[in-house]
Amino acid sequence: MRHATKAKNSDDLVTMLDICDTLDINSPPLSAEHIKIIENNIKKKEEGINRLKNSDPWVYGNAVDMDDTKALEVIEKRVLNLYKKNK
């Protein structure tokens, strides 16, 4: 119930539809407004993914799998971008 309430309060239609499907509840046909809400949900998820991919732990974690030269380039680029951003 909390999951559904949270989805409703955050306008997360995809989760609401998933809950309906899980509970075998018939969901209404999707209208143009529903499609727009779903597109906004997807956009928010993509923005969240991009924020994570730009975080220091993500950059460092992916740099570990690279050879030393490439990893150093990635970390240097990250440091320079942060410096420019905070200047």
- Over the stretch 12-68, which tens digit does the pLDDT of each residue have? 888 888 999 999 999 888 899 989 989 998 999 999 998 888 787 887 777 777 777
Q: Look at residues 27, 85, 16 and name the one whose alpha carbon lies nearest to residue 54.
A: 85
Q: What is the pTM of this model?
A: 0.60
Pair (42, 9) in one structural domain: yes
Residues 16 and 58 occupy one common structural domain: no
Q: Are residues 14 and 3 in the same domain?
A: yes
For residues 9 and 43, state if they share a domain.
yes
Instruction: Answer whether 30's CB lies under 8 Å from 42's CB.
Output: no
Residues 1 and 23 in one domain: yes
Say whether both 62 and 41 belong to one domain: no
Structural domain tally of the chain?
Answer: 2
Claim to verify: residue 62 and residue 45 sit in the same structural domain: no
CB 49 within 8 A of CB 27: no
Same domain, 43 and 2: yes
Same domain, 38 and 66: no
Per-residue pLDDT band at 70 (split at 50, 70, 90): confident
